[in-house]
Amino acid sequence: MRTLHFGLRVADLEKSLAFYTAVGYRVIGTVPETSFGSLTMLQLPGDEFVSIELVHDPGREHVGAGLNHFVIKVESMRTTIAELAAQGVEAEEPTSPDDPDGLRTSWLTDPDGNRIELVQWPAGHADGITAAG
């Protein structure tokens, strides 16, 4: 088994699309009418599969809560933050819980208040978190 993607309910589809495309996601498909609302499938460059499904129901006033955060791996924190700033997306100053050459993290928030953690692994680290990590 593996996680396929997560559905993220959004209040304003256009604002959310502007934000997520500025972050680097691209739209790869839509399903206009479902029992949940319209679905927009997003994928990061280099990923083979959809990782976020934006769920929008214009008749729903409250988008709900429950998501704590999700994480995006970046190759260069400095470059990513500069590219985000050029798109009008603010990210927090990167921090490193270990040492200056170790793990680097930064945070940003989407239009609905969902927190996104950017992670730059130290050299030689696996692409994700494993039992050993």
- Shared domain for 45 and 83, answered yes or no, is no
Average pLDDT of the chain is 86
Task: For residue 25, give its domain range.
Answer: 1-59
Is residue 19 classed exposed, middle or buried when 0-12, 13-18 and 19+ CB atoms within 10 A define those classes?
buried
Q: Is the pTM of this model over 0.95?
A: no
Are the CB atoms for 108 and 93 separated by under 8 Å?
Answer: no
**73 and 130 part of one domain:** yes
Q: How does pLDDT run across 94-125, given as a tens digit for each residue?
A: 988 766 667 888 999 999 888 898 989 888 77
Distance (Å, rounded) from C-alpha 125 to C-alpha 102?
10
Of 9, 33, 59, the last residue of a domain is: 59
Number of domains in the chain: 2
Whether 44 and 101 share a structural domain: no
Q: Are 112 and 64 in contact (CB under 8 A)?
A: no
Confidence of residue 66 (pLDDT cuts 50, 70, 90): low
Same domain assignment for residues 101 and 45? no
User: Per-residue pLDDT tens for 43-64?
Assistant: 999 888 899 999 898 887 677 7
